[in-house]
Amino acid sequence: MERLLVLARHGQSDWNLKNLFTGWKDPGLTPLGVEEARTAGRRLKALGYNFDVAFTSALSRAQTTLELILEELGQTGLTTFTDEALNERDYGDLSGLNKDDARARWGAEQVHIWRRSYDVAPPGGESLKDTVARVLPYYMREILPRVMRGQRVLVSAHGNSLRALVMVLDGLTPQTIPSLELATGIPLVYRLNADTTVKDKRILDT
Catalytically active residues are 10, 88
Integer Cα distance of 131 and 12 in angstroms: 21
What is the identity of the amino acid at 127? S
Q: Is 201 exposed, middle or buried (0-12, 13-18, 19+ CB in 10 A)?
A: middle
Which residues make Cβ contacts (< 8 Å) with residue 148, sequence separation at least 6? Answer: 3, 192, 194, 196
Strands 188-192 and 53-56: unpaired
| CA–CA gap between residue 195 and residue 24 (Å, rounded) | 34
Position 143: which residue type?
I
